[in-house]
Amino acid sequence: MICLGIESTAHTLGIGVVEGNKVLSNIRALYKTPKGEGIIPRKAADHHSENFERLVAEAVEKAGIRVKDVGLIAYSKGPGLGACLKVGVVAAKNLALNLNVPIVGVNHCIAHIEISKLATGFSDPLVLYVSGGNTQVIVKHDKRYHVVGETLDIGIGNLIDVFARNLGLEWAHGSVVEQLAREGKYVELPYSVKGMDLTFTGLLTHAIKKLQTTRKEDVCYSLQETAFSMCVEATERALALTRKKQVVACGGVAQNTRLQKMLQLMAEPHGAKFGVAPGEFNADNGAMIAYTGLLMQQHGMAEKQSEVKAIQKFRTDEVELW
């Protein structure tokens, strides 16, 4: 069966076409915020609405199929920004009705995990999920992904994005912070792990203040080292408890090569393998929604039209799987 997946939780509109476990196409359009500003949900939603038709046409063409070959529509049900999610929900509902095919709502976080399992070949990993809105340590048990540790305030991606905007750069993004960090030296910043939970706002405040007196490269390096060490410590504690033999990082921040290296070094002494999916699957994308939609459909989890709706605060551990 061929599934078309729609991702629209935040600044990315992604359309992916997947058949079985083969990604046929995976394209996206990014809403870019004006310099110095965070995401404006209403404008991001307009962007997704304006680009939807074009992206679907491109994704279908690139996949080498016709729209009528699509047998399932999957959409991001949440978590995410209400205005952005709603564009995806309405578009998905219309497509499914027009094509007369089933529809399935996918938890965005679970989609990151499932596509990472496909890409790494891991069957039962301990997961560090690091993105703009989320930072969670996750383990699957009894048909459910359980969150065993998480941020108590902001997501790590949010920490890095807000800090990057304070650097006054034209393109304020985690990849720029990663680049600058390569030239930096360590300066002390606050470190806050509580059991397997984390907090980032104190670190953010101090890092922004430090920019007044310290080279930006040094603050970038120290911010990354501190925030990533916190995530790795929480993950290691969970690994020691669960004794899993596979560790996966997923979500936008998982593209950071320094974080990948640190997780690799942590996993080895525990006899665990570390793996990460290619960047296109850690950035928000439609293929992960399509792939997870297919898995859910196989397990009888398609929705009735009346159940098709967005859930803004949709937690990873709310979904009973298989």
What gap in Å lies between CA 300 and CA 277, rounded to an integer?
Answer: 27
Instruction: With contacts defined by CB under 5 A, name the span among 84-92, 119-127, 164-172, 276-284 that binds Fe ion.
Output: 276-284
Residue 161 touches Fe ion, criterion: CB under 5 A = no
Q: 28 and 14 in contact (C-beta within 8 Å)?
A: yes
The DSSP element (H or E) to which 29 belongs, if any, is strand 22-30
Q: Residue 33 Cβ, how far from Fe ion at the closest point, in Å?
A: 17
Element (H, E) at 273: strand 273-276
CB of 10 to Fe ion, least distance (A): 7
The contact mask relative to Fe ion for 281-320 (x = CB under 5 A, - = no) is ---x------------------------------------
Total number of residues that touch Fe ion (CB under 5 A): 2
Could you say which residues in the range 84-143 bind Fe ion, by CB under 5 A? 131
- Is-contact 33 48, C-beta < 8 A? no
- Max distance between CA atoms of the chain, in angstroms, equals 61
Question: CB-wise, 31 or 221, nearer to Fe ion?
Answer: 31
Give the residue from 298, 267, 248, 8 showing the smallest Cα distance to 115: 248
Sign of the C-alpha dihedral, residues 282, 316, 22, 67? Answer: negative
Least distance from C-beta 298 to Fe ion, angstroms? 23
Cβ proximity to Fe ion, 175 vs 305, nearer residue: 175
Give the nearest distance from C-beta 78 to Fe ion in angstroms: 11
**In this complex, which beta carbon is closest to Fe ion, that of residue 131 or of residue 246?**
131
Determine if 26 is a binding residue for Fe ion (CB under 5 A): no
Residue type, 7: E
Which residues in this chain contact Fe ion in the complex, by CB under 5 A?
Answer: 131, 284
